[in-house]
Amino acid sequence: MRISTMRLVDRWLGIPVCVALTVLRRVRDRGRAPAPAPPRHIVFVKLAEQGSTVLACSAIRRAVELVGREHVFFVVFEQNRFILDVMALIPPGNVVTIDANGALATVAGAVAALRRLRRLRVDVAIDLEFFARSSAAIAYLSGATSRVGLHAFGGAGPYRGDLMTHRLLFNPHLHTSQTFRLMVDALDRPQDRLPTFDGAPPASDDPPPSFLPAAYEIDGVRDLLRAAGLDDDGPLVILNPNCSDLLPLRAWPASRYGELASRLLARYPHVRIVMTGAAGERAAVEDLVRGVESDRCVSVAGHTTLRELLVLYTLADVLVTNDSGPAHFATLTPLDVVTLFGPEHPALFAAPSLRNRVLWAGVPCSPCVSAYNNRTSPCRNNVCMQHITVDQVFATVVELLEYRGAQRAPLRSLAPG
């Protein structure tokens, strides 16, 4: 199902569903005040956006501390479970998936997921989505007696009923990883005192686990690069000119990736450029590569699995990408990243890594998407991305390449002759 279709369903079907469930909740809970009890089974609901799932590492780790690894579960679209398997913070069998290929498959998958959660008797559901109605409904229908999520106090956010027992106020000044961690910390707070939180906010520097590919995986990706025409010598720069369908406003003009590649190749005689992308972007990325006119610039768009993409990151020096999943996946590897921000604010969504360099023009209309507007925008001309120049990106990549080269030089001087 397309993201645009999901948004329409979430709005036009989700609102009446949340109204009905809110009425049901108030009738069923009338006169009842459930006694607080230590959590036993925790389920996170984060259907889409694998990049944001990386930002939930601290929240997942805290949940594991509370109930044990075997008792933490995650509900996600089948198409987005990859990053959970890679991070391996919970057992693979604890990932509850919903197939999002079509409306009927999505509904059937949601029903099956809810049946499983009820069989598991989860008592805590934590909704990591920003004001989505579908995830709020899943959290309520899971049977969990404690439900944590964002609430539109005073209309500060899209309406999604009153289905949470632990209602939090969205703070647009906290990094997303901190917001996710607070959702777990809320379990220790009395429901009637929320959304008030005292004390310092949680740290935002809890790194994700490291991705360690097997030797045969590294050999396989090297073979893939050789088959594309690249040798094994020289720094490797990855350019990711694609943008997910979720938010196309995040895309940097594609022609600038081609110009950036040409300038890097001209400056460094041994640099190698690899352009990546999804299968549906293969033709467009290959056109970019042809325009560069160099045998040191190739495309692997549509030729790698997500796991092979991570292996590629472990072999590379620098990645240039818009704010999307790859910027977060790269934090699992030693790769340096240049992330281009526009319609969203890096203070909220940038990968919290010392190896991540953020470029953001900060034009007056940016950011234009947030949790308050369900990450939609009337903008049809992303000047926020266009204001990021090739000169800026080129200078940042050169700085990173020079630094990495300087780090390798002492090692080469110590190598036996």
Cα separation values, 318 from 214, 259, 273, 343, 368, Å? 21, 16, 10, 23, 28
Q: How far apart are CA 279 and CA 250, in angstroms?
A: 19
Count CB neighbours of 74 within 10 A: 23
pTM value is 0.93
Give the model confidence (pLDDT) of 63-87 as tens digits.
Answer: 999 999 999 999 999 999 999 999 9
**Strand order across the 236-240 sheet:** 297-299, 272-275, 236-240, 318-322, 336-341, 356-360
The enclosing H or E element of 168 equals strand 166-168
Instruction: Give the closest residue to 143 by CA, choosing from 217, 73, 81, 79.
Output: 73
Q: How far apart are CA 130 and CA 133, in angstroms?
A: 9
Mean pLDDT of 328-335: 95
How many percent of the chain have pLDDT more than 90?
Answer: 76
Instruction: Give the closest residue to 248 by CA, choosing from 411, 75, 4.
Output: 4
Q: For residue 190, what are its two tokens?
A: 């009395």
Q: How far apart are CA 140 and CA 163, in angstroms?
A: 6
Q: For residue 325, what are its two tokens?
A: 């999943």
pLDDT band at 254 (very low <50, low <70, confident <90, very high): very high
**Residue 32 predicted with pLDDT over 70:** no
Q: What is the CATH number of domain 217-414?
A: 3.40.50.2000
Q: What residues pair up with 168 in beta bridges, in sequence order?
A: 150
Mean pLDDT of 82-102: 95
Give me the chain's average pLDDT, please.
91
Q: What residues pair up with 73 in beta bridges, in sequence order?
A: 43
Going from N- to C-terminal start, the domains of the chain cover 3-193, 217-414
Count CB neighbours of 412 within 10 A: 8
On whether the CB atoms of residues 294 and 269 are closer than 8 A, the answer is no
Q: How far apart are CA 176 and CA 178, in angstroms?
A: 5
For tokens 């990325």, the residue is 285
**Residue 3 predicted with pLDDT over 70:** no
On whether the CB atoms of residues 258 and 329 are closer than 8 A, the answer is no
Alpha helix ranges (H) inside 41-175: 50-54, 57-67, 82-87, 103-120, 133-141
pLDDT band at 412 (very low <50, low <70, confident <90, very high): very low
Q: How far apart are CA 50 and CA 327, in angstroms?
A: 11
Q: How far apart are CA 404 and CA 337, in angstroms?
A: 13
Give the model confidence (pLDDT) of 131-188 as tens digits.
Answer: 999 999 999 999 999 999 999 998 888 999 999 999 999 999 999 999 999 999 999 9
Q: How far apart are CA 72 and CA 62, in angstroms?
A: 10
pLDDT band at 411 (very low <50, low <70, confident <90, very high): very low
Q: Do domains 3-193 and 217-414 have the same CATH topology?
A: yes
Give the model confidence (pLDDT) of 353-386 as tens digits.
Answer: 999 999 999 999 999 988 888 888 889 899 999 9
**Residue 246 predicted with pLDDT over 80:** no
Instruction: Give the closest residue to 52 by CA, choosing from 312, 384, 380, 371.
Output: 371
Q: For residue 99, what are its two tokens?
A: 């197939």
Q: Following DSSP, what letter does each residue of 6-60 receive, concatenated? A: HHHHHHHTHHHHHHHHHHHHHHHHTT--PPP---S-EEEE--S-HHHHHTTHHHH
On whether the CB atoms of residues 253 and 385 are closer than 8 A, the answer is yes
What confidence score (pLDDT) does residue 417 get? 42
Q: What is the CATH number of domain 3-193?
A: 3.40.50.2000
Helices (H) then strands (E): counts for the chain? 16, 12
